[in-house]
Each structure stands twice: as structure tokens, then as C-alpha cells.
Structure 1
Amino acid sequence: MAIDVAWARTELAEFLRLSETYVPANEPGAMVSSRSRNRGTQQEIIASAQIVEQMLDRILPAWRSSVPSHKSNRWLQHREATQRADVALVREAEVRERLGDNAPHISASAMHPWVWDGAKALWQSGHFREAVTAAARKVNAETQNRAGRRDVSEASLFQSVFSKDAPKPGQPRLRLMADDGSDTFRSVHRGAMAFAEGCYAGIRNPNSHEDGLPELPEHEGLEQLAAFSVLARWVDGATVSA
């Protein structure tokens, strides 16, 4: 679902208002003080931040690692990220058009929930390779749940659940379409099996087993997450045949 830009900008602006700092004027007879305060109370700022953080996770998924934090003020990182997010909401389409790239873009938060839920925490701290591995584990676990299998995992699991053979005791199948004996049925399940094997052999295994690999560029990590999102949607939408 697309972001409600007007609502989001209102919430971002309110957070910026509440977290703004100022030095209060001294009342007559009061001691001179230069200590700054926030416009809102801590309770108000925390309540607003609860909403704003969810928006930042959607608009700028890596904001916790890409925007510097400040020990002197707990809200400065949030404020800078909020200002960036507001600009992104207003001018993203313009920037893409002016730079000559108005093509569709991938949003990690719009991927299948199994993938983004598995990857989210690591992704937001800039650990893209580990995030992809976590997403792969989540998809594997959810597939085991759907099939009621704990005896096999990853490539072997998908070879079993997407097998064109009839189900056997303890070996249910996941059907992406009804078995009508057609070439299409065989092609769809052969393709799903091969795709799943490629995801785990070509993406998951190197990411988790190779020491010293450089961090994935963010755009490559997104592409790898997208592959597991496709697989997750197939599994989630399949019919269990036991």
C-alpha cells in the first residue's frame, strides 16, 4: 500500500516541533540559565517517535546506521532522519525524473512479511549480508511450518514440497496449481524447485559460510531479498496436499 504522504508529513512535522530545542527566557528574579529544553514533554516526544520510527523504517530503512547518532541529545538522530524522510516524500519523484531514472524501485518493507520480518533488525543496522541470511532462515522455517516437516531443510525441503510426485505419508506437497497432468503443472513445480535450490545454494550458503566476504552493497542486498520474497509468496500461497 502506498504511503499517505499528507498524513506522514503532518506526523513528521509534529515530531520536529515537539523535539525542537530552545533556551527558555528567564523569569524575573530567576537564576540565569542557558540550559535548553524540548518544546514537548518527553512523554509527548516518545509517543510521537513511536509513529515516526515506523515511517522512517519504511522511507529510509537504513536510517539507524546511515544517519549519525549524537550522545548529547537522544533525538538529534531522529530529527535529521525525519528531515531527510520529509524531503524524500516530497521530492523523490522529481529527483528520479531529473536524474533520468524514473524506473520502478524496490522497497524492502513491501516484500513478503516473512522476508522483511526476518531481515528488518539486521538491515536497519547496515548488516545487509546477515539480513539476507536471516530472511532465508525465516522462509525456510515458515515452509517447514506449512509442510509440517522438521526432518529436512533448505534445498532438500523445497525439493520435497515442490516435487511433482504424489504426496506420501509424512511428505506433503505444496501445490502452486492443481495437478491436471499438464505440462504447465510440471513446469511450474520444476521451476519452483530449481528457483528455491538456487536461492539457497547461490545466495544463502555463500552469505553464511564464507568468512571475510565484504559487506553487500545495499542494492545487491535488496535484489537478494527480492528473490526470497518471490519464493515466500509461492510457499505462502500454495495449497498443502497431504
Structure 2
Amino acid sequence: MDRAWMREQLEAFDNLAARYRQSTRPGDFSGDAQLGDQLYKAEPTIKQILKKLDPALAESVDVGKVAGAATARRQVQRALGILENMDEWAKHLEPDAPVLSADQLHPWVWEPAAPLWAAEAWQDAVLSAARVVNRRLQHLIDRHDIGESELLLQTFDLKEPAPGKPRLRFPGDRSTPTWRAQQEGAKFFGAGIFLAIRNVAAHEEAVAWTEHEALEQLASLSVLCRWIASCDVERVTQ
């Protein structure tokens, strides 16, 4: 989250709401019309920010109701308090565990997923990422006759390259069991991702993935992409 931007938006809204309240007259709950329009325009963004910090904060924000600006100011002040103390909470209250940053996933995965993720469309984000990984791999080895699980099975196969059938090869000593295990592991791991993740995301109307579970699916795709990036493409030489 961009905390600086969130704080800027909240403080601007709080200032605007304060000015609107000051413009109201005794017995008349309507204030300056121009300020009211600005409040309405800013309200959706403020609600999204409040939801990220504490979903309960956004529920009572409605500038169209009587005293709505005052209520919104109270919730915004609470949100600013949360932002101010988040670093301290993370330091003193969160368990000591590593955090997976989505924007550090492989670009083939996060770039297509990011806009859908922002819309909280977890399933669509995973599906979009899987489709892009498939297209990228097809382009990398110049194979558009097959795709997805079959593409991974053939691309990492231990067989020698054949005409029209390049292979991906990890670096290292190919005579060792470890190298063979890596090739075979990537082969079946990649195929499994498309069978058990991509196909489910594509063919189920609604997958009951939580946000974190969907992030784990993206991380699996990212691991595969890192492996692909580390490999050499081998083709039949003329």
C-alpha cells in the first residue's frame, strides 16, 4: 500500500469536510454546494482507502446524510490514526514471519495480474497471469501448435530436441541425478500448474480462493517463470 498517498487523500478529505461543516448555518444542514460536490467526488476513493485499513470504517461514511460530513471526519481521523501506527503495530504485534510482496513476483505473472488484483478479482488475476505465462513460453520457443500443460511436458522433456520441438535445459552437469530431477520436476510442476490452477480458474464459475490463497497460486506461476528464465533454449541445429 502507498501509505503516503493514502494519508494525503485522507487529510485532503478531512480538510474539505471541515470547511463544509463550517459553511453550514444554524438549523440548515446543507453547506456550500461546491464543497459538497467535491466531497461527493472524493467519497468513493476515501471509502476504498478506509476498506483497506478497516472495512468497518467505510460503512458509516455517507456525505449525503444529515451530519454525514461530521461522521466521515471521525472515520477519516481513525484511519489516519491507523496509518500513523501501522509501522509500530507491524513491529510489535505481527508474528515474525517473512512477507511475500506481489510486486516482486516475476513480471510475466504480476504485470497481467495487477489491475485485476486491484479490483479484488483474485480468480481472474490468476487466470490472466497463467494465460500470459503460456503465451510467453510459446513465443520463447516458437511453438504455437500446443500450449499449457502439454507445452510444459514437451518443453522440459529429457528427449533431445527435434525439428519444431525445442527444449528448455537447466544449466549444470547433465550427467547428475540432481540435474535430471530438476528437469523432471519442472516438467511436471509446470504441467500441474496449468491442470490444477489455470484450468480450475478458467472453468469454475467462482473459485473460493481467499486473497492469500490466490497469491500462493501466483507465486507458483512465478517460480515456474524463474525456472524458465534460467534455462537455455536448445533447438535442432542444421
TM-score (norm 2): 0.69
1:218 equivalent in alignment to 2:211: yes
CA-CA distance at 1:186 after TM superposition: 1.2
**Whole-Å separation in 1 of the counterparts to 2:154 and 2:83:** 44
Q: Summarize deviations over 1:217-239 as a string: whole Å, max 9, x none.
A: 11211211111111111112222
* Larger of the two Rg values belongs to structure: 2
5+ long unaligned stretches in structure 2:
24-29, 65-71
Aligned match of 2:26:
none
**Whole-Å separation in 2 of the counterparts to 1:18 and 1:208:** 42
Q: RMSD between aligned alpha carbons?
A: 3.7
Aligned letter for 1:91? W
Over 3 Å counting, the alpha-carbon distance change for 1:239 and 1:214 in structure 2 is closer
1:222-237 aligned at under 5 Å gives the runs: 222-237=215-230
Aligned match of 1:113:
107
Q: Secondary structure at the match of 2:112?
A: helix
CA-CA distance at 1:156 after TM superposition: 0.9
**Whole-Å separation in 2 of the counterparts to 1:179 and 1:37:** 72
Q: How many residues align?
A: 204
1:128-147 aligned at under 5 Å gives the runs: 128-147=122-141
**Whole-Å separation in 2 of the counterparts to 1:189 and 1:236:** 14
CA-CA distance at 1:178 after TM superposition: 3.9
Q: Secondary structure at the match of 1:240?
A: strand
**Whole-Å separation in 2 of the counterparts to 1:125 and 1:207:** 16
Check whether the contact 2:174–2:180 (CA below 8 A) recurs between aligned residues.
no
Check whether the contact 2:7–2:83 (CA below 8 A) recurs between aligned residues.
no
Q: Summarize deviations over 1:26-51 as a string: whole Å, max 9, x none.
A: 8xxxxxx932778xx9xxx9xxx9xx
What is the identity percentage for the equivalent residue pairs of Structure 1 and Structure 2? 31
Q: Summarize deviations over 1:150-206 as a string: whole Å, max 9, x none.
A: 111101111121111222222222222246322222111000001011111111112
TM-score (norm 1): 0.68
Aligned match of 1:92:
90
1:26-175 aligned at under 5 Å gives the runs: 34-35=31-32, 63=52, 83=80, 87-96=85-94, 101-175=95-169
CA-CA distance at 1:134 after TM superposition: 1.3
**Whole-Å separation in 2 of the counterparts to 1:9 and 1:138:** 30
Check whether the contact 2:134–2:148 (CA below 8 A) recurs between aligned residues.
yes
CA-CA distance at 1:12 after TM superposition: 4.7
Over 3 Å counting, the alpha-carbon distance change for 1:88 and 1:235 in structure 2 is farther
Higher helix proportion: 2
1:190 equivalent in alignment to 2:187: no
Over 3 Å counting, the alpha-carbon distance change for 1:148 and 1:179 in structure 2 is farther
5+ long unaligned stretches in structure 1:
27-32
**Whole-Å separation in 2 of the counterparts to 1:9 and 1:126:** 19
Check whether the contact 1:23–1:34 (CA below 8 A) recurs between aligned residues.
no
**Whole-Å separation in 2 of the counterparts to 1:145 and 1:179:** 27
**Whole-Å separation in 1 of the counterparts to 2:192 and 2:83:** 36
Aligned match of 2:19:
23
CA-CA distance at 1:115 after TM superposition: 1.2
